[in-house]
Amino acid sequence: MDYILTANALSKHYGHFKALDGCTMHVPKGAIYGFVGKNGAGKTTLIRLICGLQEPTAGTYQLYGIGNDDEDIKKSRRRMGAVVEMPSIYLDMTAEDNLKEQYQILGLPSFAGIPELLELVGLDRTGKKKAKNFSLGMRQRLGIAIALAGDPDFLVLDEPANGLDPQGIIEMRELIIELNRKRQITVLISSHILDELSRLATHYGFIDNGRMVKEISAGELESACRKCTRLEVTDVKALARILDRMNIKYQILSDQQADVFDKIHITDLTLALAEEHCEVRSIDQREASLESYYMNLMGGGEHE
């Protein structure tokens, strides 16, 4: 598989505090990679390292196959765009003037691409309105426009939906999907809004205490979070015998509960259980979510 970013045993220490502790990571080309972890897990620290804002204490990372200790890493970073923590914008400037400033910083020869960029992020009608009068969602989208000014093919977003209202979250989601699918931009998203992330991500990385706990594709996650029917019965052993006879996959949870993963005919099952003097007390259709998967993986805790 072709990876845009790989991290190998990457560490960052501040005195005795280990913000990153041997973190390994793989971001495939073309992915929307959801980076998930609780407060202080090390997400922003890793992002700051790969953006060149800080140096690692130990370990290495590669961007487009170029190592962080290689002089050409600067060329690789030019292919990146990033919004780390809060968007870096000039509040007393319009959206257009903010982009002009960024174009000049990057040494771009003309401003010809600015109208298209403003339209892409939905700020083409802001006119002379200054950024200080923008909503939080508009500022976030302007930050993304600035990050896109150099025409990157890798975009890093640190909590892009943080603080947004529901409409702003939807607009952010649609923008990220468009950038990924229509412009083939690989996106790394650090986010604590797990339900929203599940609508976007093609891959996930779960980090805890500075270490990568699990990397998984959306397809693998879907299999792990498969739908099931939870049955509560008076005799789970009788239920197991009947399900075995029907060649149905299941998991016993207790002496009264089991999860059934295959489609079942409730009437046939109930009649078969009655012959075994077993009653069905409840039937509940269940589907595990990204949040429940995360909680089971991490063992609880507050999300960032």
pLDDT of residue 303: 39
d(CA 190, CA 259): 33
What is the CATH topology of the domain spanning 1-79+152-168+180-225+289-304? Rossmann fold (3.40.50)
280: three-class secondary structure by DSSP: strand
pLDDT of residue 239: 95
Asked if 1-79+152-168+180-225+289-304 and 228-287 have one fold, the answer is no
Token pair of 165, please?
């209202």
Domain residues of the chain, as ranges? 1-79+152-168+180-225+289-304, 228-287
Q: List phi, psi (to 5°) of 165.
A: -80, 170
pLDDT in 10s for each residue of the chain, 304 residues: 799 999 999 999 999 999 999 999 999 999 999 999 988 899 999 999 999 999 999 999 999 999 999 999 999 999 999 998 778 899 999 999 999 999 999 999 999 999 999 999 999 999 999 999 999 999 999 999 999 999 999 999 998 988 888 898 999 999 999 999 999 999 999 987 888 899 999 999 999 999 999 999 998 888 777 678 889 999 999 999 999 999 998 889 899 999 888 888 989 999 999 999 999 999 988 766 788 788 878 864 443 4
What is the CATH topology of the domain spanning 228-287? Alpha-Beta Plaits (3.30.70)
> What is the model's pTM?
0.80
Give Cα separations from 141 to 89, 119, 149, 174, 246 (angstroms): 11, 11, 12, 11, 54
Characterize 64-96 residue by residue with b for buried, 16 or more Cβ atoms within 10 angstroms of its Cβ, and e for exposed. bebebeeeebeebbebbbbbbeebebeeebbbb
DSSP label at residue 131: G
* β-bridge partners, 267: none
